[in-house]
Structure 1
Amino acid sequence: MTGSFDKPGYAALRQGRWSAPGQVYLLTFTTHDRLPLFADPAIAVHCCRAIAALAHTPDGELLSWVLMPDHWHGLLQLGGRITLSQWVARLKSTTTRHLPEGVARPVWEKGFHDHAVRQEEDLLQVARYIVGNPVRAGLVSRCGLYPWWDAVLF
């Protein structure tokens, strides 16, 4: 029997992954089978409340994030107490626990994509890229009209 980690690409996502306290990471992960679970506002609101609860902790600070119908993007400054993988696992498990009964499980695919933001990269530009995702996807005409995002940088 093969699991999600046997899919091509999961091993590559983990190669060279490192966690550095204070480092800023651009993160992306998808819903299970890319189902547009969060197109339903009644489900998305629960997920966003759980994300907001983890947005500013000693384990990490979310500088910008957006919940799309079938994936999530975030700009995280990692704290010093847990690894990047542990932070993502905590976000995925917390959001899953906060969803209403009857929402199909699993909610999230295993694995995630990360990019350590280099010092020369403009954090404000990366944050704007994240919150501009709904506009580029054609969901809204401007990011302020999309309800499922937040940013301390924008």
Structure 2
Amino acid sequence: MPERLRRLEYTFQRLPIYFVTACTHERRPILNKADIHTRLIEFGKEGADHGAWLGSYVLMADHLHAFVVIDDQRTTLSTWMKSLKNMISKVLRGNGILSPHWQKGFFDHILRSGDSYAEKWEYVRDNPARAGLVEKWNEWPFVGEIFDLEFRVDRV
């Protein structure tokens, strides 16, 4: 059995931007649906009330890439991801798609610079075009941005 991914014990930026990826169980192509996308947008907007701001995202058939800011005094990244997966699973069950829906865990990376953010976003947004699903990234219907997350390091 693979070893669990280790999470950072401490984050030194007050509100870091996380790059996260969650994959479906056995990479089942079940996510690129209009009702899931609609609910993801609603979930992203509601998150601000709970200390989570969903930025840019790309919803592919078998995985989700997203950028999110978490206020660690109000929630945790793991709690937010669990809520996100549960919300999408509820939609999938409503569509008659049986569990399990998700691989255990998720990938996360704290962005350390504006360049890192831009580089990761370019890679993520181009996923549908690289997969041959569209000519240009902005033709993919399951891409968007809820909150404009700006990478900023406050100087003392």
TM-score for the superposition, normalised by structure 2: 0.79
1:17 alignment partner in structure 2:
8
2:55 corresponds to 1:55? no
Q: Deviations over 1:43-95 (max 9, x none)?
A: x1121122111213232111110111111100111134111100100100011
1:70 alignment partner in structure 2:
62
Instruction: Report the Cα distance in structure 2 between the residues aligned to 1:93 and 1:18, rounded to whole angstroms.
Output: 25
Q: Which runs of 5+ in 1 are unaligned?
A: 1-6
Instruction: Report the Cα distance in structure 2 between the residues aligned to 1:114 and 1:123, rounded to whole angstroms.
Output: 13
* CA 120–102 in structure 1, closer or farther in 2 if over 3 Å, else same: closer
2:154 alignment partner in structure 1:
none
Matches within 5 A, 1:16-55: 16-18=7-9, 20=11, 22-38=15-31, 44-55=33-44
Q: Which runs of 5+ in 2 are unaligned?
A: 150-156
What is the total number of aligned residue pairs between the two structures?
141
Instruction: Report the Cα distance in structure 1 between the residues aligned to 2:25 and 2:58, rounded to whole angstroms.
Output: 17
- How many percent of aligned residue pairs carry the same amino acid? 30
Instruction: Report the Cα distance in structure 1 between the residues aligned to 2:87 and 2:35, rounded to whole angstroms.
Output: 10
* CA 122–153 in structure 1, closer or farther in 2 if over 3 Å, else same: farther
